[in-house]
Amino acid sequence: MMRFWKMHGLGNDYVVIDNRDQKIPNKLVRMYAERLCERRFSVGADGLLLVYSSSEADVKMRIFNSDGSEAEMCGNGIRCFSKFCYENGIVAKTEFSVETLAGIKHVWLTLKGNEVASAKVDMGAPNWQRSSLPMTGEGTCINENLEVNGERYKVTCLSMGNPHCVTFVDNVEAFPVCEVGPQIENHKAFPKRTNVGFAHIASRNEMNVRVWERGCGETLACGTGTCAAVAAANKLGKVGSKVTVHVLGGDLQVEIGETLFLSGAVEKVFEGTLFKEALS
């Protein structure tokens, strides 16, 4: 049997398991992610977060999308992960470091009583080089044309530890994200696929964003996608250094300095017990 928590950050939901004792062996992790994240027939989630011990940071996080693919980093995921670690006594402080495939990330927790109400994450600095995504071509891709099924989109591409392609649209609510998103995700320009952000500028300190996530589809919130959209908008002179971002699941705050800081609420939905036989 394995204990798990179901959690979400503004509707971006995860199954979280303490795997420091390797209850889930590496050869079965992808299968577990697919089975556990399947909605209606299982717990259901956008992804699986696993806790590991780390020799480099206070704790290590691995992230698996609902299709079983492993992600380098996830802004909402790491906030859920941090609440899980604190409230389960895996870490005993409100500021700590987390090892990810995208490097060491630092988090700060805001408590309400003994529970974590919100979390702030230093997401690091964006990398604008095409090679960091990777993306075909050389140099950067800032406000350049990308042809998708006969349509041209102005895109800005960057890595937030994972790849993002951001385009600005007039009406993000009505935009066909579920049609265009997978077309850009699997575009030949992105050999390892990409996350796709669709953004609308409301003011110098306010944006509306929807994100099509690689290996997952559209989610109610995407932390790295939100940061990528704000970074792209700031790069193009559209917003300032402090931005409130409205995503489908609620609001996130992003501050831009030498690095990007992401803040927002995080919640535990329920906890339960998994029986391995049910997943085999």
Q: Give the catalytic positions in this structure.
A: 74, 222
HSE (side-chain half, CA atoms, 13 Å) at 251 = 6
Contacting residues for 257 by C-beta, under 8 A, at least 6 apart: 241
Contacting residues for 11 by C-beta, under 8 A, at least 6 apart: 219, 220, 221, 248, 249, 250
133, 57, 69, 42: which is closest to 95 by C-alpha?
A: 57
Kindly state the helix (H) or strand (E) to which residue 158 belongs, with its residue range: strand 151-159
| Torsion angle of C-alpha atoms 186, 191, 192, 194, degrees rounded to 10 | -50
HSE (side-chain half, CA atoms, 13 Å) at 25 = 3
218, 270, 275: which is closest to 66 by C-alpha?
A: 218
Contacting residues for 184 by C-beta, under 8 A, at least 6 apart: 146, 148, 153, 155, 165, 167, 190, 194, 196, 212
Q: How far is it, in rounded angstroms, from Cα 45 to Cα 34?
A: 10
Residues forming a β-bridge with 218: 212
Q: How far is it, in rounded angstroms, from Cα 260 to Cα 52?
A: 25
Q: How far is it, in rounded angstroms, from Cα 41 to Cα 35?
A: 8
CB atoms within 10 A of CB 263: 18
